[in-house]
Amino acid sequence: MSENQMSVEEQLKKAKILSEALPYMHQFAGQTFVIKYGGHAMGDAALAEDFARDIALLKQVGINPIIVHGGGPQIGAMLERLKIQSSFVDGLRVTDQATVEIAEMVLCGTLNKNIAQAINKAGGMAIGLSGKDGNLIEVQKLTRTKRDPDSNIERILDLGFVGEPSRINPEILESFEDIDVIPVIAPIGVGPGGQTFNINADTAAGHIAAAIGASKLIMLTDVEGVLDKQKKLINRLSPSDVKTLRQDGTIVGGMIPKLETCLFGLDRGVDAAHILDGRIPHVLLLETFTEHGIGTMIQAD
Question: What digits encode the pLDDT tens for the residues 215-250?
Answer: 999 999 999 999 999 999 999 999 999 999 999 999
Residue 13 pLDDT: 74
In a domain, 281, yes or no: yes
**Tell me, what's the pLDDT at 1?**
45
Q: Write the CB contacts of 275 (distance below 8 Å, at least 6 apart in sequence).
A: 219, 221, 223, 225, 226, 255, 258, 259, 262, 295, 296, 298
pLDDT-above-70 percentage for the chain? 93
Average pLDDT, integer, range 91-98: 80
Residue 4 predicted with pLDDT over 60: no
Residue 16 forms part of a structural domain: no
**Angstrom distance (rounded) from CA 225 to CA 240:** 17
Higher pLDDT, 39 or 176: 176
d(C-alpha 105, C-alpha 182), whole Å:
22
In a domain, 5, yes or no: no
Q: The domain that contains 291 carries what CATH number? A: 3.40.1160.10
Q: Residue 149: what are its φ and ψ, rounded to 5°?
A: -65, -25
Stretch 97-105: mean pLDDT, rounded?
Answer: 92
Task: Please give the mean pLDDT across all residues of the chain.
Answer: 89
What is residue 147's predicted lDDT score, i.e. its pLDDT? 60
Which of 72, 71, 59 is closest to 33 using CA atoms? 59
pTM above threshold 0.85: yes
In a domain, 206, yes or no: yes
Query: Does the structure show a pLDDT above 90 at 201?
Result: yes
Quick one: pLDDT at residue 148?
Answer: 59
> CA-to-CA distance for 300 and 271, rounded, in angstroms?
8
User: Does the pLDDT at position 162 exceed 70?
Assistant: yes
Residue 216 domain-assigned (yes or no)? yes
Q: What is the DSSP pairing of strand 182-186 with strand 64-69?
A: parallel
List the Cα angle 54/59/65 in 5-degree steps.
80
Q: Is residue 21, in this structure, part of any structural domain at all?
A: no
The b-or-e profile of 29-45 (16+ CB within 10 A means b, else e) is: eeebbbbbbbbebbeee
127 and 179 Cβ atoms separated by less than 8 Å: no
Domain membership of residue 158 as a residue range: 29-299
Determine, yes or no, domain membership for 18. Answer: no
Number of domains in the chain: 1
The reply to whether 76 falls in a domain is yes
